[in-house]
Amino acid sequence: MNQRRLRASTHVRELAGTVTISHRDLIQPIFVEQGIPERIANPSMSGVFTDTETSIIQQITDDVAKGVHKFLLFPIPNQRFEYEFNFEFAEKVVRHIKQCFGDAIWLACDLCLCSYTVHGHCGVLNAEKTRMENDLSVQILADYALTLANAGADCIAPSDMNDGRIKAIRQILDAHKHDVVSIMSYSSKFSSNFYGPFRDVCKSTPDKTLKLQGRKTYQIDPSNLHDAISSSLRDAQEGADFLMVKPALPYLDILVRLSQKTDIPLVIYHVSGEYAAIDLLVREHLIEKNVAHIELWTAFKRAGASAIITYAARDAREWLT
């Protein structure tokens, strides 16, 4: 068999290929911080900004012009809390964005407490600060989800990793006539070392003086295949509309296995550290940014992703045509 016949030209490669990438498959993360005087360029991630409440409107306008219509919002409040939370900033940002763009965009909102808590953990802690209080955290997150849905969010994306959150969020949304607001669960989210640049932006690095071992007591251990699969399937059962694998490249085996076990759309998150790694290669002239990302996106789709969260979504249409 001559394997090279199907590699011989662009035409035949296009016909023989089993996946195609479109900019329509991609979701662009956006960051909005309360009280900063002007937008901030990210020092380790090219083309990524922390916007002000005002500048985000221009950013989304520019993105829409580049064919981006799906966004994942990270609100960064300028106050920190311990047990009583105030979600007014996030609410205001979501409402403003949806007032400006309406159904021209699909707005998912990350749901977590790590940018809100004094200690940077994803939920509230017990009095001794030795563990995360699961049920209390879930209750607060469900109320937060309702606030975001009331403000117009199209999708709630819980990234906290407490047990039972999907069920609680679905219940509160349905009880308030938000049955069309979807839930994208960060269901196979690993305790990864690749979140560094993101935590700098969101000011969400967990307090290392506490006995919580970073996020290891609530995010999935990289060695545990079974936990990753059962957490995702559990979230599907609780009512998640999308499941997610995060980070991307080191965890494609999880994506492949999930795609064999469920028909729920799978999303993969190419995270900040993975994006910054490409930027470093580009800076050393060891790779070109566009082909690097396109190759990775292709691998993600081949492994079973139906959508990809990537910081380069806003470049995709230009790169792909």
Active site residues: 189, 246
**Bridge partner list, 188:** 245
Sole residue written with tokens 């990864």: 192
Exposed e or buried b for every residue in 173-192, given b needs 16+ CB within 10 A? Answer: beeeebeebbbbbbbbbbbb
- Choose which of 271, 307, 313, 316 interacts with ligand PBG (CB under 6 A): 271
Give me the helices (H) in the chain, please. 10-16, 55-65, 88-101, 134-151, 165-175, 196-202, 225-238, 252-261, 272-283, 289-302, 313-320
Q: Identify which of residues 67 and 214 has a Cβ nearer to ligand PBG in the complex.
A: 214
- Choose which of 51, 91, 110, 315 interacts with ligand PBG (CB under 6 A): 110
- Choose which of 272, 289, 300, 301 interacts with ligand PBG (CB under 6 A): 272
The two structure tokens encoding residue 308: 């990809």
Q: Identify which of residues 60 and 157 has a Cβ nearer to ligand PBG in the complex.
A: 157
List the interface residues with ligand PBG, window 111-140 (CB under 6 A): 112, 114, 122
- 276 contacts ligand PBG (rule: CB under 6 A): no
**Shortest distance in whole angstroms from residue 207 CB to ligand PBG:** 13
**Shortest distance in whole angstroms from residue 281 CB to ligand PBG:** 18
Spatial separation of the C-alpha atoms in residues 249 and 298, rounded to whole Å? 11
Q: Identify which of residues 192 and 259 has a Cβ nearer to ligand PBG in the complex.
A: 192
Counting every residue, how long is the chain? 321
- Choose which of 28, 137, 159, 231 interacts with ligand PBG (CB under 6 A): 159
- 229 contacts ligand PBG (rule: CB under 6 A): no
Q: Identify which of residues 25 and 110 has a Cβ nearer to ligand PBG in the complex.
A: 110
Q: Identify which of residues 19 and 143 has a Cβ nearer to ligand PBG in the complex.
A: 143
Segment interacting with ligand PBG (CB under 6 A) among 19-27, 91-99, 198-206, 288-296: 198-206
Spatial separation of the C-alpha atoms in residues 299 and 218, rounded to whole Å? 28
Spatial separation of the C-alpha atoms in residues 313 and 125, rounded to whole Å? 35
Segment interacting with ligand PBG (CB under 6 A) among 19-27, 63-71, 82-90, 195-203: 195-203
Long-range Cβ contact pairs of 121-129 (< 8 A, separation 24 or more):
121/206, 121/207, 121/210, 121/212, 121/215, 122/159, 122/160, 122/161, 122/162, 122/215, 122/218, 123/160, 123/162, 123/218, 124/82, 124/83, 125/210, 125/212, 129/210, 129/211, 129/212
Side-chain-side CA neighbours of residue 239 (13 Å): 19
- Choose which of 144, 195, 251, 297 interacts with ligand PBG (CB under 6 A): 195
- 198 contacts ligand PBG (rule: CB under 6 A): yes
- 199 contacts ligand PBG (rule: CB under 6 A): yes
- 218 contacts ligand PBG (rule: CB under 6 A): no
**Shortest distance in whole angstroms from residue 175 CB to ligand PBG:** 26
- 156 contacts ligand PBG (rule: CB under 6 A): no
Binding site for ligand PBG (CB under 6 A): 110, 112, 114, 122, 159, 195, 198-199, 204, 215, 271-272
